[in-house]
Amino acid sequence: MIHQMLQFPTDENTLVDNDTLQLPDIRAYLPANTDLKVAAALAALYRSHCISVIDSFRYCKERNLMKYFSAFHGTLTVPVQKLLTHPNLAPWIKECDWMMYQKMIAFVAPPNDPVLDAFNSISQRLCGHIAETFKTQPTHVSVARLIPAHIFCNLLKHMLDVNQAANAAAAWLCHPDNRNQMWTDFKTMVNPRDMMTKANIPTCAELATEQILKHDIRALLTPLSDADPSASLLFFTQPDTPDSVEAHKFPVESAPGDEYNFPDKWVQFILNIPAAFANHRTQCVIEKVDALWDSVLHRLTLAGAPSFSAWWMTKVFFHEMMVWQAEKGGFMRNTPGSLQSATFGPESLGHFQMKQASVPETTPFDASNDSQAKSNPSPPVAHNGHQSHPPSQHPEFKHPPTEKRLSLQDPGFQGHNNDDSAIDLEDDTMLLAVGKYGDMMVSDPADAEGDVVVI
């Protein structure tokens, strides 16, 4: 489902209300004859539950996070429990959980190793834990809780892939000799106009794309030591036309000095792409950018470029970061209701098929009715991915240190033995700028105990 709601973020601060957690009004979902006091109690308890889950994630308290899901139904009175399991409340549950996971994604920042371990464990275990916890509940309840959780876990997994790709690319790009070789190979072997033709770049985007390949690629690699600026293809020495300059809306500034700013400069460049091609859909932009990268790498391969490996890892990072930003932006800017009304039918969302017994939408809710349907929940969809491998590295090109590895690759890593010491996920200028919650205080004193490790 997440690939069907891709949308690059615009103004991050407007995507999520960072002051309060305001759940959807439950009154719009209530069946007939519902006791409003019972409904108010359910709304208050569910809000408290969401805040507890958010705080547990913020401080990487994995065991507490799982506990709040397991113990939730035990905190409900019989009338509140009956109302929660009514089919009319399933869309409300889905909306609330979606909003809860939006808050949690807003805390995600470039993590250190303990946080990576916690994120990996949560992304692997959360859907299974929810399915097991709610297996005695009606199908519509478990499905309503699983759909947002599945999307959230996939976003976490993709964030871990982005982090790993950034580490691999940094090992190449942070070495000045590698960047010098990358630019030398690019300007002497890659004809941007040929690449654009092979990638089938639309005519309306040609001028902007030419400027990016001519100027921004070099600026992204600066600081550089270009020993022979004249040694390049004719395209790079031709003067820019006034129309080309006007089409270049977000030029990348060359970096002075000796320090290389990775990945901030690349991330900002990626975030400017949708504005540079504002009349194109997100999926179209991603496909054309990927096709252009493939054309460039194909040319560098055939030309025997010494810097091919560095360009390959840069492309992997670029693609993962771009898609992650689009997935995250789509998730933060949508709700289950908006997606269902725009794309999906009432019986399905993504790969989850909501198979329920025939129940009229306006079935009255009677607090005295003791009957309650129970069935097994729909299992979460497995997270599928693919991995490509670049050709063998050029023997004369400088290779990154082999000792740089992410902790996620350690064979001894066990998710369920995660250290739950409090780790505060603070604000980050690269991915998200998240404010503090106003009335959302730490719901469990244990969540705030221990030394806070600042990312």
The per-residue pLDDT for 332 is 87
Give the C-alpha separation, 54 to 440, whole Å.
9
Give the C-alpha separation, 201 to 342, whole Å.
28
Rounded to 5, what percent of the chain is helix, strand, coil? Answer: 55, 0, 40
Among 15, 72, 14, 11, smallest CA distance to 47 is for: 72
Residue ranges covered by each domain of the chain: 15-160+335-390+416-448, 169-326
Instruction: Could you list the beta-strand ranges (E) of 11-107.
Output: none
Give the C-alpha separation, 90 to 98, whole Å.
12
Q: What is the pTM of this model?
A: 0.63
Give the C-alpha separation, 152 to 98, whole Å.
9
Give the C-alpha separation, 121 to 108, whole Å.
15
E strand or H helix that includes residue 140: helix 139-173
Give the C-alpha separation, 432 to 111, whole Å.
13
The per-residue pLDDT for 258 is 83
Query: Which positions ≥6 away from 50 have C-beta within 8 Å?
Result: 21, 23, 96, 97, 99, 100, 103
Residue type, 52: S
Residue type, 250: F
Give the C-alpha separation, 287 to 291, whole Å.
6
Query: Which positions ≥6 away from 91 have C-beta within 8 Å?
Result: 29, 144, 336, 337
Ramachandran category for residue 350: left, alpha or beta (phi over 0 → left; psi -120 to 50 → alpha) = left
The per-residue pLDDT for 178 is 94
Among 161, 102, 153, smallest CA distance to 350 is for: 153
H-only helix segments in 212-281: 217-221, 234-237, 242-247, 264-276
Q: Which residue is listed with tokens 């979460």? A: 380
Identify whether the C-beta of residue 274 lies closer than 8 Å to the C-beta of residue 282.
Answer: yes
How is residue 281 written in tokens? 């859909």
pLDDT per residue as tens, the chain (455 positions): 556 567 666 655 444 444 578 899 999 999 988 999 999 999 999 999 999 999 888 888 888 888 988 888 888 999 999 999 999 999 999 999 999 998 888 877 656 667 777 888 888 999 999 999 999 999 999 999 999 999 999 999 999 899 899 999 999 999 999 999 999 999 999 999 999 999 999 999 999 999 999 999 999 999 998 867 788 999 999 999 999 999 999 999 998 888 898 888 999 999 999 999 988 999 999 999 999 999 999 999 999 999 999 999 999 999 999 999 999 888 888 888 877 766 544 444 433 333 333 333 444 444 444 444 444 444 443 334 444 444 444 444 444 444 333 333 333 333 344 444 444 444 443 333 333 333 333 334 344 333 323 22
Q: What is the number of other CB atoms lying within 10 angstroms of the CB of residue 198? A: 15
Identify whether the C-beta of residue 114 lies closer than 8 Å to the C-beta of residue 421.
Answer: yes
Identify whether the C-beta of residue 297 lies closer than 8 Å to the C-beta of residue 182.
Answer: no
* Distance, C-alpha 33 to centroid of its chain: 41
Identify whether the C-beta of residue 21 lies closer than 8 Å to the C-beta of residue 54.
Answer: yes
Q: What is the number of other CB atoms lying within 10 angstroms of the CB of residue 429? A: 10
The per-residue pLDDT for 189 is 96
Give the C-alpha separation, 195 to 334, whole Å.
35
Question: Kind of pairing, strands 352-353 and 348-349?
Answer: antiparallel
Burial code of 334-343, b = ≥16 C-beta within 10 A, e = fewer? bbbeebbeee
| DSSP letter, residue 277 | T
How is residue 18 written in tokens? 């960072």
